[in-house]
Homo-oligomer: A and B are copies of this chain.
Amino acid sequence: MRDLSGHPELCAINTATLGFQAPIEDVIEAVARAGFGGIAPWRREMEGRDVPAIAKRIRAAGLNVTGYCRSTYIPAADHASFLTNIGANKRAIDDAATLGAYSFVMVVGGLPAGSKNIASARQQMAEGTAILLEYGKSVGVRIALEPLHPVYAADRSCLALLSEALDLCDTIEGSTANPWLGVCADVYHVWWDPNLKRDIARAGTAKRIFGFHVCDWLVPTRDVLNDRGMMGDGVIDVPAIRFEIDAAGYGGLIEVEIFSPENWWKKPMIEVLRVVQERLGSAS
């Protein structure tokens, strides 16, 4: 397993970790100065801005773009809204291409308002993903499905299991030596899964691991969306999961993504980056 201690260049910072406190230009500079190898920006930092100029700045700072976060939810109450969602995602994929992102990260969405039909949401997700895969290929952007913890099944992601994401990849893209459709595995979402080891190995064999996120699950968790922990502060055995990810052949950057408006987001960026770097070495 790669030793991350003293090797921030093997790691990336998802900008959500820093709480969107500063303009993206300042975030890029802080992340690069701290020695990290990559950055994963969010659409809120890009849309309405000069994306080519920001892309140039990221490259000039020597940073890779791991993933571009994230998709507009796909399932919709009617077909027109579904198509609107697809259109929004195509524009985001264009920006991902401009940024040179390794992948476009898809959080697929949950149940449309008023629906109790999760099977239908999944059907729409599959249909939408197939369209976006073709679009991504046409502009050179991989699509990374990020299964979310089942606690978000209703309102954020009807895609919950890593195995489910891999099944979807196989169904849509079939077996291929150079997949454009893959997964992004986040320890927060998958740590509890009894089939995790099996599914990481399967993803590796299929070359479908497009991203890997670390953080921690706090006990107690005060808010399942926004009370995510720094590696080492919770109950996830992050090194054990990273061992499986590395063993599965993943050679990409280890990305830190922590939603924590009540704690980490209130601290200065420089301090957060310092702690992240320390914990990547000691608890990841």
Contacts and interface: CB of A to CB of B under 8 A. Distances in A.
Contacts of A161: 193-194
A150 B192 contact: yes
Contacts of A158: 192
Given A122-B194, A160-B192, A192-B160, A235 B115 contact: yes
A151 to B, nearest CB: 4
Contact of A154 (B117, B154, B155, B235): B235
A186 to B, nearest CB: 14
Interface residues of A, number: 29
Interface stretch (A4-12, A75-83, A136-144, A216-224): A216-224
A125 to B, nearest CB: 11
Contact of A237 (B116, B219, B224): B116
B192 A155 contact: no
A240 B115 CA distance: 13
A1 to B, nearest CB: 17
Contact of A224 (B118, B194, B224, B235): B224
Nearest to A152: B192
Interface string A202-231: 000000000000000101110010000000
Interface of A: 111, 115-118, 122, 149-151, 153-155, 158, 160-161, 164, 191-194, 217, 219-221, 224, 234-237
A115 B219 CA distance: 11
A153 to B, nearest CB: 4
25 contacts: A111-B219, A111-B235, A115-B235, A116-B235, A116-B237, A117-B237, A118-B191, A118-B237, A149-B150, A149-B151, A150-B151, A150-B192, A150-B193, A151-B151, A154-B192, A154-B217, A154-B219, A154-B234, A154-B235, A155-B219, A155-B220, A160-B193, A161-B193, A164-B194, A224-B224
A164 B196 CA distance: 12
B116 A224 contact: no
Contact of A160 (B153, B194, B235): B194
The 5 closest A-B pairs by CB, nearest first: A153-B192, A151-B151, A116-B237, A150-B192, A164-B194
B235 A192 contact: no
A224 B237 CA distance: 23
